[in-house]
Every structure is written in C-alpha cells, then in structure tokens.
C-alpha cells in the first residue's frame, strides 16, 4: 500500500478566464476531495486544481510532463472548443496512463472539448458533432430543442441545478456502489440541459458502459459513464484505469449549487432540485469519492 495520499490533478483545457468554465468553477469538487479521509483518519487525497498556463498552441508545463510527474490521477475537464490539448500533451497523458496513472476525461455538448479525440484509448469513447461522430446514425440528431444554437450530441437530462435519476448497468460497478441506498447503487447525478455523447470503443474489450441516463425531452436513453479497466496494452504496459463522462457539468459548482453562478453565456433557466434534495448532493459526493478510490487501483488498497 502506498502511504501517500492519492495525488489528483484537476485540470481544465483552457487558461484562466473568469467568464468561462475555468477551474474555479469546480471548487466544490476540489474542496470535497480534499476533505476526504482514509481508514486511519488521514487525508485520502492531495488535490491540485489548475487551468492551462501556456499560450495557444504551446505546451503546458504540467500536462506536457505528466508521464514523469508524481501525480496518481488526472481529472481532465475539456472545456475548450477543439484546441485545448497539444500533441505533446496528449503523448504525455498517454505515457501517464501507461505507467499506471488513472484518468477521468469529460467534456460537454456538440464539439465542446473535442480536443480529447487525440487522446489514445479514451479519446475514441467521446462522440462529437464534427469529430468522431456517434457510430449509430440514429443518434446524430437534436435531443434538446430549447437551446437552439446547440446541435447534437445534446441529451437533455434536466435543468442546471436539478438532478437526474440514473440507471446503474448490471453488474453494478464499484464506481456506483452506495450501501446506504436500496439496492446498493447510486441513483442520482446532477442534471444538464445538453450532455455530450460517449460510448465503448469497438476495439477495447476493457471498457463498458456502467451508467445510463434518460432524456427528459425525448425519453431516449444515453450513456453517462464508460469505465476502462486497467488492461495490458500491446507493448506489455499495464494501463491505469480510466473513466469517460458525458459532461463536465456533473462536477461543476453551478450544477451542485446554482448560488455559485455560471458564465454569462449560460442562458437556460436553472432549477433548484439539488438544493432541496440532500440525497442527490450526497450521491455525487459519494460518486467522486468512489472515483478517486477506484482510479487509484491496487496502489492504495487499504487506505479507505
């Protein structure tokens, strides 16, 4: 067992911009992870939260050297419009996973965050409007008709600030376990009016869909989480575990508590379901703890 706390890098793909989805918009997540303790009452996680600090088209010094860093996990919030990662950064993230680092990679609707398509393995699990489209042509259509500037994929799971009921796919994955609930599985995620599209890459037997949502507009089922087990690649590297998430709004301050505000370009009317439903807030906090623990793999077994 590694005696250190799990070192987690929370990282966006944009520089610090006040009126955008910069890392400051994920402060409740960072605070929650930093508050977790292990079985001995010691800090479970050591959290670093940051935005890019490099000019467009140049390498970020942390991301571009991630493979040689002492981080255990990268939680990547792709909030860019397609240019958020350089080739060297993608290569370093690949090296990070090949040495056992855990990845959580998330994006949003349409082409938001499409820079992740260049990531090996997990990139193929993200479907966008103009890049790596959903292989099912029947899903290449508008689901959320209200935000008319946003095209597919844009699954409408509810208003920002509300929660959605999720379905855990059998067998229930460790990420979704919660012994406090009937059936032992998490039931709620924060909602969002236009979630992105994800799926299992056809060539990767280590991945499976573990959680499903349902559109409140069309009733269509859509994938919320794809989990990649720590498989061995063709070069004998034992890859770290990975998770692909349909939208970074599952982790945003605004989606946990709308009082924290959103960028000025967000014009959909918010809900207040998360504020009035303590179980929903507890569910996403439990999920993020599960995520930190599961991505850590065997290196930290026994700490929790």
pLDDT tens digit string along 49-104? 999 999 888 999 999 999 999 999 999 999 999 999 999 999 999 999 999 999 99
Task: Give the CATH number for residue 83.
Answer: 3.40.50
Q: Which domain holds residue 62?
A: 6-300
Q: Is residue 1 situated within a structural domain?
A: no
| pLDDT computed for residue 151 by the predictor | 98
Q: Which residues contact 158 (CB under 8 A, 6 or more apart)?
A: 164, 191, 192, 193, 216, 271, 273
Cβ contacts of 141-144, under 8 Å, gap ≥ 24: 143/194, 143/215, 143/217, 143/218, 143/220, 143/222, 144/109, 144/193, 144/194, 144/215, 144/217
Secondary structure of residue 142 in the 3-state scheme: coil
Q: Is residue 247 situated within a structural domain?
A: yes
| pLDDT computed for residue 1 by the predictor | 59
Q: Is residue 54 situated within a structural domain?
A: yes
Q: Is residue 92 situated within a structural domain?
A: yes
Closest CA to 50 of 27, 81, 68, 82: 27
CA pair distance 97, 124, nearest whole angstrom: 15
How are the residues of the chain apportioned to helix, strand and coil, as percentages rounded to the nearest 5? Answer: 25, 20, 50
Q: Is residue 296 situated within a structural domain?
A: yes
Residues of the chain with pLDDT under 70: 1-2, 298-304
Closest CA to 88 of 69, 62, 112: 62
Report the number of distinct structural domains present in the chain: 1
Q: What is the pLDDT of residues 96-131, one digit of tens each?
A: 999 999 999 999 999 999 999 999 999 999 999 999
């Amino acid at each position: 067992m590694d005696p250190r706390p799990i070192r987690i890098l929370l990282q966006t793909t944009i520089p610090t911009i006040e009126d955008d989805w910069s890392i400051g918009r994920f402060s409740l997540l960072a605070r929650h992870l930093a508050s977790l303790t292990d079985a001995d009452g010691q800090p479970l996680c050591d959290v670093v939260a940051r935005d890019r600090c490099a000019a467009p088209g140049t390498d970020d010094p942390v991301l571009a050297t991630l493979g040689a860093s002492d981080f255990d996990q990268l939680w990547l919030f792709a909030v860019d419009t397609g240019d958020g990662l350089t080739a060297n950064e993608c290569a370093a993230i690949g090296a990070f996973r090949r040495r056992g680092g855990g990845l959580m990679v998330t994006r949003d609707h349409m082409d938001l965050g499409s820079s992740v398509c260049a990531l090996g393995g997990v990139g193929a699990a993200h479907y966008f409007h103009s890049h790596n489209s959903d292989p099912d042509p029947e899903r290449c259509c508008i689901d959320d008709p209200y935000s008319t500037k946003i095209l597919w994929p844009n699954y409408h799971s509810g208003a920002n600030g509300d929660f959605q009921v999720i379905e855990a796919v059998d067998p229930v994955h460790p990420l979704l376990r919660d012994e406090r609930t009937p059936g032992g599985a998490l039931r709620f995620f924060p909602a969002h009016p236009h979630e992105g599209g994800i799926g299992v890459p056809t060539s990767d037997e280590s991945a499976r869909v573990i959680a499903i949502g349902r559109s409140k507009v069309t009733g269509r089922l859509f994938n919320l989480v794809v989990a990649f087990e720590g498989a061995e690649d063709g070069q004998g590297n034992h890859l770290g575990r990975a998770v692909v998430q349909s939208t970074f709004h599952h982790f945003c301050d605004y989606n946990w508590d709308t009082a924290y505000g959103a960028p000025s370009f967000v014009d959909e009317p918010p809900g207040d379901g998360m504020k009035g439903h303590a179980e929903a807030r507890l569910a996403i906090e439990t999920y993020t703890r599960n995520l930190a623990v599961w991505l850590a793999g065997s290196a930290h077994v026994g700490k929790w």
